[in-house]
């Protein structure tokens, strides 16, 4: 969920003591954002920035951050969670993830080529995601290469559905609720010159979740198993001193039977802005998108973006003859000049669809 990026990015607003950073610094953070899935959301957060003793004297050591957040939305959704990122031993070890509880509601539009008029459903779920990596080798060029393990747990308790809807029919795996648990392997590579607003470099996040279990995802409520393979790769290139071209490719491929809430998705604040998150979902998804980012005046910037994605299943890996396109434009305001952390205001357009987004940090 994009809120992790928002909270960790907001934590970057804290002033840094570059001479002698404190072991522990606490910062209260107001939280406000807007997406089509939530409408206006507001809340509070408290961020702890940690510097470990083992990294004393290492100027390139990245700070670790833990953020406890509480948010409520216009759609009567409640979010309570703790995102974190940890760097340890001269950045040799890197861990990130989240633990949280959500009382949410979503629109469901069907699965794959079986589209239905949108159905509103409610769900309550605790979720834990943990990724632990160790730097391997000497890196590639200017970048650092990490490898490690991933774990996920989610107890997706569907609390309300539309009586005449597809979810109520019992034919959608996990449509009446499921409990997902499992893990896998991961590889992470990063050669960006900056974290929040890169002007050059590449970041790649690769995952293989093997034999994950989903209790209640079978049509008779039995446990199912599935594998998931994900690649998320972004690259950045400066076009002179005041413009950056950013590109992103994303793929998610599932083998086996996954609950509908764990399927590959298109839409949301990061992938194909202009479509509701999960407007399209199927076993497989592939996406390519690009964004031109330009400075306008002092702290003000502007972007134009566009992308295209496609979906697939067991019969057709990707249905290339059924592309989903989206495009749009937006404004940026640099809230933190040191790290070039931007407040993002975007408007995206898709096929008979549109979306307005007010968040912190870039889409990719």
pLDDT at 9 over 60: no
Residue 8: its H or E element: helix 3-11
Please tell me whether residue 321 adopts helix, strand or coil conformation. Answer: coil
Q: Is 59 inside a domain boundary?
A: no
Q: Is 23 inside a domain boundary?
A: no
Domain total of the chain: 1
CA-wise closest residue to 274 among 346, 364, 361: 346
CA distances to 266, 308, 319 from 311, in Å: 9, 11, 6
Residue 20, token pair as written in the block: 């002698």
Task: Give the mean pLDDT of 97-104.
Answer: 97
Structure confidence at residue 14 (pLDDT): 45
Q: Is 199 inside a domain boundary?
A: yes
With helix as H, strand as E and coil as C, how does 179-191 read? EEEEEEEEEEEEC
Q: Is 11 inside a domain boundary?
A: no
Q: Is 94 inside a domain boundary?
A: yes
pLDDT at 207 over 90: yes
Q: Which residue has the tokens 């491929």?
A: 253
Q: Is 236 inside a domain boundary?
A: yes
188-200 per-position pLDDT tens digit: 999 999 888 999 9
CATH number at residue 298: 2.40.160.50
119-141 per-position pLDDT tens digit: 999 999 999 999 999 999 765 66
Q: Is 214 inside a domain boundary?
A: yes
CA angle, 337 then 342 then 346, to 5° = 155
Q: Is 277 inside a domain boundary?
A: yes
For residue 96, what are the domain limits? 83-360
pTM: 0.89
Task: Give the mean pLDDT of 53-69.
Answer: 88
């Amino acid at each position: 969920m994009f809120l992790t990026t928002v909270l960790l990015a907001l934590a970057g607003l804290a002033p840094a003591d570059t001479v002698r950073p404190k072991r522990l610094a606490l910062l209260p953070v107001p939280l406000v954002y807007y997406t089509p899935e939530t409408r206006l959301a507001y809340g509070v957060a408290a961020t702890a920035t940690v510097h470990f003793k083992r990294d004393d004297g290492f100027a390139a050591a990245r700070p670790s951050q833990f953020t406890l957040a509480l948010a409520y939305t216009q759609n009567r959704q409640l979010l309570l969670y703790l995102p974190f990122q940890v760097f340890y031993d001269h950045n040799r070890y890197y861990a990130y993830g989240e633990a949280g509880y959500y009382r949410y509601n979503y629109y469901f539009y069907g699965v794959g080529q079986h589209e239905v008029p949108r159905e509103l459903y409610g769900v309550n779920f605790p979720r834990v995601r943990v990724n632990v990596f160790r730097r391997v080798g000497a890196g590639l060029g200017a970048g650092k290469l990490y490898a490690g393990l991933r774990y996920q747990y989610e107890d997706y308790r569907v609390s309300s559905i539309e009586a005449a809807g597809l979810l109520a029919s019992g034919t959608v795996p996990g449509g009446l609720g499921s409990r997902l648990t499992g893990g896998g392997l991961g590889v992470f590579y990063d050669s960006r010159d900056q974290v929040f607003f890169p002007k050059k470099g590449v970041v790649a996040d690769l995952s293989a979740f093997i034999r994950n279990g989903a209790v209640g995802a079978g049509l008779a409520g039995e446990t199912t198993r599935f594998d998931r393979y994900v690649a998320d790769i972004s690259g950045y290139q400066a076009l002179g001193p005041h413009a950056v071209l950013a590109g992103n490719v994303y793929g998610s491929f599932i083998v086996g039977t996954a609950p509908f809430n764990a399927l590959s998705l298109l839409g949301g604040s990061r992938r194909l802005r202009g479509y509701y998150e999960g407007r399209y979902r199927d076993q497989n998804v592939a996406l390519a998108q690009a964004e031109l980012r330009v400075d306008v005046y002092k702290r003000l910037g502007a972007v134009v973006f566009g992308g295209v994605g496609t979906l697939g299943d067991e019969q057709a890996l990707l249905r290339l003859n059924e592309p989903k396109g989206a495009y749009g434009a937006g404004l940026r305001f640099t809230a933190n000049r040191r790290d070039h952390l931007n407040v993002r205001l975007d408007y995206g357009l898709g096929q008979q669809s549109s979306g307005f987004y007010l968040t912190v940090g870039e889409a990719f």
